Every structure is written in C-alpha cells, then in structure tokens.
Amino acid sequence: MYKKEIEAYIESHKQEMIEDICSLCRINSEKMPYKEGMPFGPGAFEALTEALTMAESYGFSIRNYDNYVGTVDMNHKEQQLDILAHLDVVPAGEGWKETEPFEPIVKDGKLFGRGTSDDKGPAVAALYAMRAVKELNIPLSKNVRLILGTDEECGSSDIAHYYAVEKEAPMTFSPDGAFPVVNTEKGSLSGHFTADWEPSERLPRLVSLEAGIKVNVVPGKANAVVAGLEEHVLEQIAKDCTNKTGIRFEIRREGEHAFITAIGQSAHASIPEEGNNALTGLLTYLTKLPLAECGQVFMLRRLLSLIPHGDTSGRALGIAMGDEISGDLTLAFSLLKVWDSGLEGTFDSRCPICSTEENVLNVVKRNMADKGFTIHNDSMNPPHHVDGDSPFVKTLLEAYESYTGRKGECISMGGGTYVHHLKNGVAFGASMPETDNRMHGADEYAVVEELVVSAKIFAQVIVDLCS
C-alpha cells in the first residue's frame, strides 16, 4: 500500500536528501571534551542542533534531551515505532584519498565522507521516510519517533540518559547495520585479569611486554624487551616461530637489550579468525627463548596454555560453544602488559545465545584461578535476540523484499548495536549485505542508491506498522 507514491516522493527528493546528509557530514562530531551544555563537546552539539533544526523546518515536532539526544515525532498519538540513529562519528583518522573526511562528495554513485554510512546518512534517510509519509498525507493511527543520539561510538551514555526518562516503544529499529534484519547480537565478556610473582634479576630475562591498542581489536603488533640473549639465538627462534605461526619478528639491539616487535594481522575482535594475533604470537616466541626460570616465565607459559596462538574459540579456556542461530563463541586476546613482578591483560569474547554467566564467566574464573590468575569481572553482557517470526520482524523483511527484490532473512552479528539492550530492538539497514562501507576507516562511503532505497523501505515500514 502506497508503494508507488512513496517511490515517487523519495526519487523526487533524492538530491535534497543528499544535500541534507552532506550538511551534517561537514560537521566533525567526534566526541570532544565536555563543555557546559555540551556533554560530548561542541561537535556533537552542533550536529544535533543542525539535525533538529532540519527536522523542525520540515514541520516535525522536536525535543532536545539536555543535548544528549534529540527526538523527531510524526504526531502526538500512541507510541508504536522508534527509529534509533546517531550523529556522532569516530575520529577521522589518516589515509583519506577520495576527499577530506569532513568534505563530503559524490563520486561514481558513492557519497564519501566521515559519517555518510555511520550513521548520519541513514539518520537522514529515516527523516526523509518520515517526510514522505507526512507530506503524502498517509493516515497513521500511531506515532513514529526518530531518536538522534550523540554518543553511540563511545559507550552510548546518551541513550542511557534518554531511557532514564522515556519508555521503549513497542518496536525499535536502528539503521546502523545492514540489511536484511540483524535480530541476534552476541553477548560479550571483556575478561580483565591480573597476576603477580616475586621479581627476579636473573639473566636472560624478559624486561617488559606491551601489546594491544583497544579491547575490541586483535593486535597487529606487539612489543617486548629482553636482556642477556645473543642475537643468533633470538633470530633462529624467531625464524622457527614465523614458520609455525605466520607472525614476523623484527629485532633491534641496544647493548644488552633486544627490542622485539611481533607483526601479525589486525582484525575486529568479533572476527578474530580473520586476523593473526601478534600478542599470542609474541608469547609463543618468548616462551621458546632460553630465559632464566622464574615466576614470570612460569606464569607466561601458563597464560599461553589458557589462550594459545590460533585459539579464537576459547577452547583452551573451556568455553568453546555455539548454536545454530548466533554461531560460535569467539575470543580475541587483545591487551597485555607484563613487567618484572606482574601482568595485566584483557581478552574480548563474543558469546552466542546459548552462553550464560554459569557456562562462560564462571568457567573462565575457575580455570584461570587454577593457573594463578585473577579475573576481575563480576558479570558479562548478555546476548540479544528478537524472534525472527514476530510480526515486527516479518514486516521489516517484507518491506525489504518488496523494494529490493531480494530474499529477506534474519542474520546474527558478533558486535553490539544501539538496540542491544532494548527488548524488541533490531538493526535494519542502511546498506546492502555485500557493501563494505569502510565504516570507521579512511574513505568511508555510502552508496547513494542504497540510501535512497533505504528511505523508501523505512517509509513503507512506518506505514505498515503505524497505520
């Protein structure tokens, strides 16, 4: 119903929609230091102000929640559907070639710029879906609300602030993933652990080890300093480890000290099997060196036995598991510091629907304690799942199929989205399954036609769910 009218409206407003996306993407809205009245800094504040002004100019009722979140309402009727998008972005980073990060430009059917796909482009597509329904005078019996957050990339404290005063709508989708529908998100355990021992000055010895940049990134590099070993020993064992692990080793000497860099392949922690972990590769190397026996060496061997190189399933920790809906548990050893008398580390595990604190957290605690490690987590983030046969999800899939001609199906992901803690929330759009938007990377882009069809699909969903 109303498909022909919706398609005609969005096509006729296509250029205007792209221009509105560009106006938001020219604003650097990465998280910045707090200023009075600007909880996430001036960039996020400016983007929220611009977006709400835009929505108000199209005749919508808006509300600002202390500059954490803004809302755009279709009407004042009973709440039925929330669309949850965000206006903050990750830092621009280096390596941009198509354009400067905050100078959006269309090339070859792609809109390049930071935020074009994550998530300003989809947010504006949702706004234009609401415009289409409003300006076509399609009658609705219930309300749809566009919720615009400003802290999704750094912890979602914006949404926590919003839901502290507002109730969830009966149905929520976030256009911050991909089509068709992401109805399952794995749980997670960021396992933070420590150990200590009596220091030793015996040679040869490990002076220090440091690896990892973020808990959700498989380390592509890891560094260590050793003392008291001859270069030919270091080089021969490095060669052997490279043959076994695929990790390369660069060794630089300064007097009695050797500075070792292990080089692997970085990856997102939700797909650790696509990387080659330099941290565990470096541990493998160090435990092969003829270091003097001490508490440090003993504990590093034990640590490697719990998370050996190449084990991305948590098998050695005793938590390997999986199910048909959400797939297998994954594990990435992502952060580690070692000094003369102790260590501190963190691993990132993405846990399927069948996971619980009893069969993951408690097992990890027990098995690590048996080896002398203390894990400091008291809880884990539970998995999220919405019934794929619910009328809500079926309506989303039907709209997707109608406007794309593709088969709609539910999919699972290892990462968490804005809707992870919402009872009836799913990720829906705004890119096609095969599209790599370079999200969070240089030359981020959105395919223009995918934004256009997203706006059409969202408009149809509004009509189907709120009429």
Which residues fall within 8 angstroms of residue 19, CB to CB, at 6 or more apart?
none
pLDDT in tens, 456-465: 999 999 999 9
Q: Give the three-class secondary structure for 110.
A: strand
Between 244 and 439, the more confident residue is 244
Distances (CA, A) of 10 to 120, 143, 180, 205, 454: 17, 21, 20, 67, 10
Residue 4, CA distances (Å) to 9, 406, 408, 455 in order: 9, 18, 21, 14
Rounded Cα–Cα distance for residues 403 and 451 (Å) = 12
Predicted confidence (pLDDT) per residue in 52-97, tens digit: 999 999 999 999 999 999 999 999 999 999 999 999 999 998 899 9
pLDDT of residue 214: 87
Give tens-digit pLDDT for 17-32: 999 999 999 999 999 9
What integer is the mean pLDDT of 7-14?
98
- Active-site residue flag, 152: yes
Q: Is the pLDDT of residue 415 over 80?
A: no
| Residue 107: strand, helix, or coil | strand
The C-alpha atoms of residue 88 and residue 48 are separated, in whole angstroms, by 9
| Cα of 296 vs its chain's centroid, Å | 34
At residue 428's C-alpha, the angle toward residues 423 and 434, to 5°, is: 140
Residue 235: the pLDDT is 97
Determine the straight-line distance between the first and last CA of the chain, rounded to whole angstroms. Answer: 11
Q: How many CA atoms lie within 13 A of 23 on its CB side?
A: 15
* pLDDT digit string, tens, across residues 121-162: 999 999 999 999 999 999 999 999 999 999 999 889 999 999
The 10s digit of each residue's pLDDT in 297-356 is: 999 999 999 999 999 999 999 999 999 999 999 999 999 999 999 999 999 999 999 999
Q: What angle do CA 147, 160, 171 make, to 5 degrees?
A: 45
Q: How far apart are CA 95 and CA 81, in angstroms?
A: 39
Which 3-state string (H, E, C) describes 203-264?
CCEEEEEEECCCCCEECCEEEEEEECCCHHHHHHHHHHHHHHHCCEEEEEEECCEEEEEEEC
Query: Which is the catalytic residue, given 20, 119, 152, 311?
Result: 152
* Rounded Cα distance, 296 and 213, in Å: 23
Q: How confident is the model over 413-422, as a mean pLDDT?
A: 87
Query: Distance of CA 432 to CAs 7, 177, 441, 451, Å?
Result: 18, 9, 18, 10
Q: Can you spell out the DSSP letters for 369-394?
A: HHTT-EE--S--BPPEE--TTSHHHH
Cα atoms found within 13 Å of the Cα of residue 145, Cβ hemisphere only = 24
CB atoms < 10 A from the CB of 39, how many?
A: 18
Task: Tell me which amino acid residue 253 is.
Answer: R
Amino acid identity of 391? P
What domains appear along the chain, each with residue ranges and CATH number?
Answer: 3-186+384-466 (3.40.630.10), 187-375 (3.30.70.360)
Q: Determine the Cα–Cα distance for residues 395 and 19; give it in Å rounded to an integer.
A: 30
Q: Which of 88, 158, 311, 357 is catalytic?
A: 88
Query: What is the C-alpha separation between 44 and 161, in angstroms, rounded?
Result: 15
CA–CA separation, 64 vs 84, rounded Å? 15
Identify the DSSP state of 173: E
The residue type found at 36 is E
Tokens of 156: 């979602």
Mean pLDDT of the chain: 96
Of residues 432 and 1, the one with the higher pLDDT is 432
Nearest to 274 by CA among 120, 414, 71, 115: 414
pLDDT of residue 399: 98
How does residue 47 score in pLDDT terms, banded at 50, 70 and 90? very high
For residue 220, list its beta bridge partners.
none
pTM: 0.83
The tens digit of pLDDT for each residue in 184-226 reads: 999 999 999 999 999 999 999 999 999 998 898 899 999 999 9
Q: Please confirm, yes or no, whether 88 is among the known catalytic residues.
A: yes
Closest listed residue to residue 437, CA positions, set 177, 180, 104: 177
Amino acid at site 208: S
- Per-residue b or e along 68-104, where b marks 16 or more CB atoms closer than 10 Å to that residue's CB: bbbbbbbeeeebbbbbbbbbbbbebeeebebbebbeb
Which residue, 114, 111, 169, 180, is CA-closest to 143? Answer: 169
State whether residue 201 is helix, strand or coil: coil
pLDDT classification of 45: cutoffs 50, 70, 90: very high
Mean pLDDT of 389-415: 95
With contact defined as beta carbons under 8 Å apart, do 199 and 340 qualify?
Answer: yes
Query: HSE on the CB side for 410, CA within 13 Å?
Result: 18
